[in-house]
Amino acid sequence: AQSVAQPEDQVNVAEGNPLTVKCTYSVSGNPYLFWYVQYPNRGLQFLLKYITGDNLVKGSYGFEAEFNKSQTSFHLKKPSALVSDSALYFCAVRDSTGGYNKLIFGAGTRLAVHP
Amino acid sequence: KAGVTQTPRYLIKTRGQQVTLSCSPISGHRSVSWYQQTPGQGLQFLFEYFSETQRNKGNFPGRFSGRQFSNSRSEMNVSTLELGDSALYLCASSPDEGVPYEQYFGPGTRLTVT
């Protein structure tokens, strides 16, 4: 079965410092990987995806993610964190079992950026 | 284009009642999926509808059901509500063509069962 793991419940970082939110995956076949962000009382907003191609994927709001096949990881990164980046971040993988798609989400990582 | 809309945004129900939630997808999107988000279980897939047919289903009891209309709008229904059904219910739409599986989420309906 497809799965993703986010090993950190919370990540704390000072504003202006680089941030990394970790994600590892387990899939059969080629992975379709996604990052979403959720602000309080809001739905999920799409940040970026990896389907194929370059291992470094650039997304919205200055975020990027690095796909590493040998380590089965897809960590989310940003060179310089903003206080407004504080939110809940979800890594997800596409599951196409049975021929139709759904997303399998990690447990989420709360990012807290301190001034 | 307008985003995915969900109504109502907040709902309070009593155990044993039933509830219907509504989702309007982005114009032109034919696939609508529903997810349940709880602190304990995280985000879990409920079901997906495409062209008025359920084509994918998660591991939820039969109390959870849904449907899709010809204009792609979707509703989900939960009967005989239990306290554990308290959750944020998220709807997501997808064009299902071209872009490989990019889903767009609505703001959610927060259901509280007392």
pLDDT digits (tens, 9 = 90+) for A24-57: 999 888 889 999 999 987 889 999 999 888 999 9
User: What pLDDT, on a 0 to 100 scale, did the predictor assign at position A45?
Assistant: 93
Which one, of A95, A29, A8, A91, lies nearest residue A57 by Cα?
A91
Residues of chain B short of pLDDT 50, as ranges, are none
Contact with chain B for residue A102, Cβ under 8 A: yes
DSSP A1-64: --EEE---SEEEEETTS-EEE--EEE-SSS--EEEEEE-TT--EEEEEEE-SS-SEEE-GGG-E
Beta strands A24-26; A33-38: pairing state: unpaired
Taking only the tens place, the pLDDT of each residue in A59-100 is: 999 999 999 999 999 999 999 999 999 999 999 998 887 777
> For residue A114, is pLDDT > 70?
yes
User: What pLDDT, on a 0 to 100 scale, did the predictor assign at position A48?
Assistant: 94
Q: How far is B79 from chain A (nearest CA, A)?
A: 24
User: What pLDDT, on a 0 to 100 scale, did the predictor assign at position A18?
Assistant: 98
For residue A18, say if its preceding peptide bond is cis, omega within 30 degrees of 0: no
Contact A108 B42 (CB under 8 A): yes
Residues in chain A with CB shorter than 8 Å from the CB of B58 are 102
How open is the CA angle B27-B87-B30, to the nearest 5 degrees?
20
User: What pLDDT, on a 0 to 100 scale, did the predictor assign at position A44?
Assistant: 92
Beta strands B109-113; B10-13: pairing state: parallel
User: What pLDDT, on a 0 to 100 scale, did the predictor assign at position A28?
Assistant: 86
User: What pLDDT, on a 0 to 100 scale, did the predictor assign at position B99?
Assistant: 55
> A39 Cβ partners below 8 Å, 6+ apart?
A45, A87, A88
Window A:20-39, CB contacts with B under 8 Å: 32, 36
User: What pLDDT, on a 0 to 100 scale, did the predictor assign at position A73?
Assistant: 97
User: What pLDDT, on a 0 to 100 scale, did the predictor assign at position A40?
Assistant: 85
User: Cβ of A47: how many Cβ atoms within 10 Å?
Assistant: 20
User: Cβ of B97: how many Cβ atoms within 10 Å?
Assistant: 10
Note whether B29 and B86 are within 8 A (CB): no
> What tokens appear for A64 in the block?
């990027």
Residues in chain A with CB shorter than 8 Å from the CB of B43 are 90, 103, 105, 108
DSSP B80-91: S--GGG-EEEEE
Residues in chain B with CB shorter than 8 Å from the CB of A44 are 90, 92, 105
User: What pLDDT, on a 0 to 100 scale, did the predictor assign at position B38?
Assistant: 95
Contact with chain A for residue B57, Cβ under 8 A: no
